């Protein structure tokens, strides 16, 4: 139940089932023959109107939009290795001072990334619940 789809949609499912069965019972027991024919004409009209726009086209458009938005967000994530490559080009040398400078800058970048993700990601918040956990790591 904790991670199920039913937990997310149970309210909408109950509303749908209530509406469906109320229409079903009204059609079967509350309407006379003339009203049933009118109801069937209305149902036929809506059925024909739903076929004018193919559902596969709408679903394909929606899925492509969602994947595009996800990919754009993924591309905007800052990656520490890109910064490390730029630093290696900007601060060349194998001297101890240059190495410590590059290492310190990358460590600060990773620290800022962790602090930012602590506010957004539940996994990072569980991994680093307090500042002491960040310092220890």
DSSP one-letter string for 106-132? HHHHHHHHHHHHHHH-HHHHHHS-SHH
**Confidence bin at 1 (pLDDT 50/70/90):** low
| Phi (first) and psi of residue 66, to 5 degrees | -65, -45
Asked if residue 3 has pLDDT above 90, the reply is no
Residue 76: predicted pLDDT: 87
End-to-end Cα spacing for the chain: 34
C-beta neighbour count of 105 within 10 angstroms: 16
CB-based burial, 42-55: b 16+ in 10 Å, e otherwise: eeeeeeeeeeeeee
Q: What percent of the chain has pLDDT above 70?
A: 99
Q: Tens digits of per-residue pLDDT, 101-122?
A: 999 999 999 999 899 889 888 9
When pLDDT is averaged across residues 53-60 and rounded to a whole number, the result is 82
């Amino acid at each position: 139940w904790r991670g199920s789809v039913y937990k997310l949609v149970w309210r909408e499912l109950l509303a749908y089932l209530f509406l469906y069965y109320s229409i079903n019972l009204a059609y079967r027991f509350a309407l006379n023959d003339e009203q049933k024919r009118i109801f069937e004409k209305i149902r036929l009209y809506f059925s024909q109107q739903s076929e004018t726009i193919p559902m596969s086209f709408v679903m394909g458009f929606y899925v492509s939009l969602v994947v595009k938005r996800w990919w754009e967000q993924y591309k905007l994530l800052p990656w520490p290795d890109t910064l490390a490559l730029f630093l290696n080009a900007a601060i060349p040398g194998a001297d101890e001072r240059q190495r410590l400078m590059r290492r310190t800058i990358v460590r600060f970048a990773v620290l800022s990334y962790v602090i930012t993700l602590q506010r957004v990601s539940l996994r990072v918040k569980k991994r680093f619940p307090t500042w002491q956990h960040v310092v220890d790591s």
